[in-house]
Structure 1
Amino acid sequence: MATGMPVRRRHLIIQLKRLRKQAGLTQDEAWKLLGWSRAKLQRFEAGDFQRVKAGDIMALCRIYSADEAVAEELIQIAQDSRKEVPWWIQYKDVLPGAFISLEAEATLIQDYNIALIPGLFQTRDYMTALMRSSAEIHTNSEVQQRLEVRIERQKSVLDREQPPMVMAVVDEAAIRRAIGGTETMKEQVQHLIDLSRRPRIDIQVLPFSAGAHAAAGIPFTLLGFDGTDAAGSVVYLETHKDGFYLDSDHEIARHRLIFSRTQGSAMSVEDSRDFLERLVA
Structure 2
Amino acid sequence: MADGTTRGKRRLARFVRELQEKSGLTPEEIAKRIRVSRPTVTRLLAGTHLARWPSLSVILDVLEATPEQKTFLLQMWEVADVDNATVEYAAALPIKYRRFRMDELEAYRERTLDVTHVPGMLQTPAYAEAIAHASHRLIVGDGWDRTAAAERSTRRQLLDREEPFEFHALVDEAALRRLVGGSEVMREQLDFLVESAARPNITVQVLPFGVGAYGPQPTALLLLLDFPEEDAPCAAYTEEISGLAMLEEQHEVEPLDGVWRDAAAVALPPAESVDFIKAVRSTLGDR
The question of a shared fold, defined as TM-score above 0.5 by the shorter chain, is answered with yes
Partner in structure 2 of residue 150 of structure 1: 152
CA distance in 1, matches of 2:200, 2:216: 25
Partner in structure 2 of residue 233 of structure 1: 234
CA distance in 2, matches of 1:120, 1:11: 26
Q: Which consecutive aligned stretches of 4+ in structure 1 deviate over 3 angstroms post-superposition?
A: 10-13, 38-41, 137-142
Q: CA deviation at 1:280?
A: 2.8
Q: CA deviation at 1:243?
A: 2.1
CA distance in 2, matches of 1:11, 1:195: 33
Amino acid of the residue matched to residue 147 of structure 2?
Q
Partner in structure 2 of residue 271 of structure 1: 272
RMSD: 3.4
Q: Which has the higher Rg, Structure 1 or Structure 2?
A: 2
1:199-253: CA deviations, max 9, x gaps? Answer: 11110110111111114221211100037x7952111111122221111222222
Q: CA deviation at 1:161?
A: 1.8
Q: CA deviation at 1:138?
A: 9.1
Unaligned runs of 5+ in 2: 1-5, 14-52, 54-69, 85-89, 283-287
Does 1:223 pair with 2:225? Answer: yes
- Whether the 8 Å CA contact 2:205–2:269 is kept in 1: the answer is yes
TM-score (norm 1): 0.66
Equivalent residue of 1:179, what SS? coil
Does 1:97 pair with 2:79? Answer: no
- Whether the 8 Å CA contact 2:236–2:247 is kept in 1: the answer is yes
- Residues 143 and 41 (structure 1 numbering): CA distance in 2 closer, same or farther, change over 3 Å? same
70, 75, 81: which one pairs with 1:42? Answer: 75
Of stretches 134-143 and 144-153 in structure 1, the one that deviates more from structure 2 is: 134-143
Q: Pick 1 or 2: higher relative contact order, CA cutoff 8 A, min separation 6.
A: 1
- Whether the 8 Å CA contact 2:167–2:203 is kept in 1: the answer is yes
Q: CA deviation at 1:265?
A: 1.6
TM-score (norm 2): 0.65
Q: CA deviation at 1:114?
A: 0.7
CA distance in 2, matches of 1:185, 1:192: 10
Amino acid of the residue matched to residue 221 of structure 1?
L
1:89-117: CA deviations, max 9, x gaps? Answer: xxx98422210011111111110011111
CA distance in 1, matches of 2:164, 2:185: 27
- Whether the 8 Å CA contact 2:125–2:150 is kept in 1: the answer is no
Q: CA deviation at 1:183?
A: 1.5
Q: CA deviation at 1:273?
A: 0.6
What is the number of equivalent residue pairs in this alignment? 213
- Whether the 8 Å CA contact 1:215–1:262 is kept in 2: the answer is no
Unaligned runs of 5+ in 1: 1-5, 14-30, 32-37, 48-56, 65-69, 71-91
Q: CA deviation at 1:148?
A: 2.2
- Residues 94 and 279 (structure 1 numbering): CA distance in 2 closer, same or farther, change over 3 Å? closer
Structural mapping, 1:101-250, within 5 Å: 101-136=102-137, 141-155=143-157, 157-218=158-219, 219-226=221-228, 231-250=232-251
- Residues 207 and 138 (structure 1 numbering): CA distance in 2 closer, same or farther, change over 3 Å? same
- Whether the 8 Å CA contact 1:11–1:98 is kept in 2: the answer is no
Equivalent residue of 1:161, what SS? coil
CA distance in 2, matches of 1:231, 1:138: 33
CA distance in 2, matches of 1:201, 1:194: 10
Partner in structure 1 of residue 9 of structure 2: 9
Equivalent residue of 1:117, what SS? coil
Equivalent residue of 1:223, what SS? strand
Equivalent residue of 1:237, what SS? strand
Identity across the alignment (%): 30
